[in-house]
Amino acid sequence: MSYAGALLSRASFPIKLISSRIMPSIIAQNLDVVRRRISAMSLAAGRDSSSVQLLAVSKNFSADAIRAAHAAGQKAFGENYMREALGKMTALYPLRRFIEWHFIGPIQSNKTRAIAEQFDWVHSIDRLKIACRLSEQRPTHLPPLNVCVQVNISGEASKSGVSPSEIAALARDIVLLPRLQLRGLMSIPEPVSGLHIKGAPHRRLRELFDAVNAQDLHLDTLSMGMSSDFSEAILEGATIVRVGTALFGDRPYQTH
Ligand SMILES: *Cc1c(COP(=O)(O)O)cnc(C)c1O
């Protein structure tokens, strides 16, 4: 068995779950485990571990959880819900300069201004109208907003994201928007189990990424892989893995 295969087949790695109480030491331990795993998988893929960025997905977790992860060296955080995110950003205002905020949830038109003003990255662009609004509303004192096009890789009707055939046209329109910096592609594949099946949607996104780049678009970001499949995603070329549960534990149930 290959080194990568051996790593993948190790049934599980020790992630401790946190329910309601956030324990900073457990978050720090989980971060350490996930970082080691990222390094091991990068090495297995013949890549430098600095080529993979860990995005800590903090939705449904408190500002204290973010503070604990930040204290343990984590810089980039992903949020899905605008109101929840703004509350945490306010609580963490003194850390603003040291935290990179990524918006990864579905985007409604009436939320674009807050996103353009408060976030550093958006992973979930799936239509030109939203991209145009974000570009118009991005304040001039901030650098261009980094964006990824979300691709519906599993072809489910319920999931957001553009179909693979729409990527190139949307990407070409986005690069013309002055206040956005098109960085790459993002996907949320439907959950599957099994080593080879898990890697398949990531491979597909990587191929689509290569095809877009062959058209001179210079994308550098593949945002793919979550707690259950970030190892497979790294083997397939992920440059950002979005990890929530493996860092913070099971999410307390919340309705938005
Ligand atoms: C919640 C979420 C994640 C993290 O999922 P985990 O399975 O908890 O790691 C990643 N990406 C997106 C878009 C999410 O909404």
Tens digit of each residue's pLDDT (9 = 90 or more) over 55-96:
999 999 999 999 999 999 999 999 999 999 999 999 999 999
CATH of the domain at 48: 3.20.20.10
CB contact burial 187-225 (16+ within 10 A = b; e otherwise): bbbeeeeeeeebbbbbbbbbebbeebeeeebebebbbbb
Question: Residue 19: its pLDDT value, please?
Answer: 45
Residue 226, ligand 1, Cβ within 6 A: yes
Judge if the beta carbon of residue 148 lies within 6 A of ligand 1: no
Residue 255 within a domain: no
Instruction: Read off the pTM.
Output: 0.91
184 within a domain of the structure (yes/no):
yes
Q: Pick the atom of ligand 1 nearest to 251's CA.
A: 8
Q: Report whether residue 52 contacts ligand 1, using a CB cutoff of 6 Å.
A: no
Q: How far is the CA of 66 from the centre of ligand 1 (A)?
A: 15
Domains identified in the chain, total number: 1
Q: pLDDT at position 16, please?
A: 43
Does pLDDT of 157 surpass 90?
no
Assess if residue 114 is contained within a domain: yes
In a domain, 254, yes or no: no
Does 256 map to a domain?
no
Q: Is 245 in the pocket of ligand 1 (CB under 6 A)?
A: yes
What is the DSSP secondary structure assignment for residue 190, as one 8-state letter?
P
Q: Where is 57: in which H helix or E strand?
A: strand 53-57
What is the band of 146 on the pLDDT scale with cuts at 50, 70, 90? very high
pLDDT at 14: 46
- pLDDT band for position 115 (cuts 50, 70, 90): very high
Contact 225, 202 (CB under 8 A): yes
Closest ligand 1 atom number to CA of residue 188: 13
Q: Which of 179, 202, 182 is nearest to 190 (CA)?
A: 202
Domain that holds residue 121: 3-248
Residue 111 lies in a domain: yes
- Give the closest residue (by CA) to ligand 1 atom 12: 104
